[in-house]
Structure 1
Amino acid sequence: MGAAASKAKPKPSRMPAFGQQPIGQQVQQARGAPPQPMPKASETKSQAILQDSQDPTFARNLAQLGQVAVPGKGQPAFRTDNAMIDILAERQRAEEALEQAPPSQIRNQLSARGLANLFDDRKLCKSQSELDELAREYGMDPATVEALAKHINTPAVSEIPLPSSDPNEPPKRLAKWVDPLPPSSKPQIAA
């Protein structure tokens, strides 16, 4: 039924003895001699280290290579072009200027808590004159407060309850954005 060349070669039913041993043992058997262990780094001087130190060619080659540059060692602990360093320096400068200025001259400088209190009190104002007076009480320019109020506010709790899967959990409510004046009383800008 055809030539032998067209038939698939039968695979052996079991591995030969040399194929069952780990490759390291196969190499060791082929050489016949046990391998010498590779020298490792040492904190004490061994005989091999002493022999290396007496070899002038080896010493010359080491001197030609120069000192090893280890990444991360010997370099500054921080980069000088770091943006965070600039931020911290600006904060330091602002704090020093704030400490040196008399309280009557400090304008538009509030802590986060003070700004939150300003925005909470702002929600109770009914007219633009009340808003301006409140801004002055906090030492802020009314125009600056208005510019901030377009983008930030303190949370206010609405009456809309949020569903909860746990009946023992305290009720949660939806937060809402509260403007101090109704939209009709705000000054309109003509287009």
Structure 2
Amino acid sequence: MRRPQKVLLVAGLLFALALPFAWAGPPEPFVAGGSIDSITVGEVTPAGESGRFAVKAREVSGWISINGSGWLPYTFTFGTNVPLTTQSGQIHGTLTAGPYTAQVHAMSEIGATPISCEVAPSGTPCLGGFIPGLLLDGTFALPDGAHGQGTASAWLVPILGPDGHIVAVFGQVTLIGQWQP
């Protein structure tokens, strides 16, 4: 094969490989939000004598709407290693809703949820007029199918069992970013 033919062949191959990316178009806004309704027991074990607990394969679930397209049930399967007293620390997991999968990395900390103490049962502890809970802030990535990334945030009110572990939750989750559906 002569040099001009090789150049044309390579240029043609590069063009053919680039077409799917050109047709994909620019990223579009991505907004997903919904409820946090339940949590499983998962695998929670003491991390030595540190007062921390290793949490593996625990699941939070609820309903989520992606770009206003109706409601899908979702499951967020996560792992973490947190102190029992604050439940604060890094959280890594996978959120699955219908055909979509998001990898989530976040930090949790104690803070005020948006629920006013005025609606809380008598004797509920308050933080600046609001019910305290866990606040999560981090990032997400959509690695398969629809590709995208953005910020992940959530708040939840944990219901603690007699041993101090979370046995039930309610709250809200929000993902905001860009994607190529």
TM-score under structure 1 normalisation?
0.21
Larger strand percent: 2
Structure 1 or 2, whichever has the larger Rg, is 1
Greater RCO (Cα-Cα under 8 Å, separation 6 or more): 2
Larger helix percent: 1
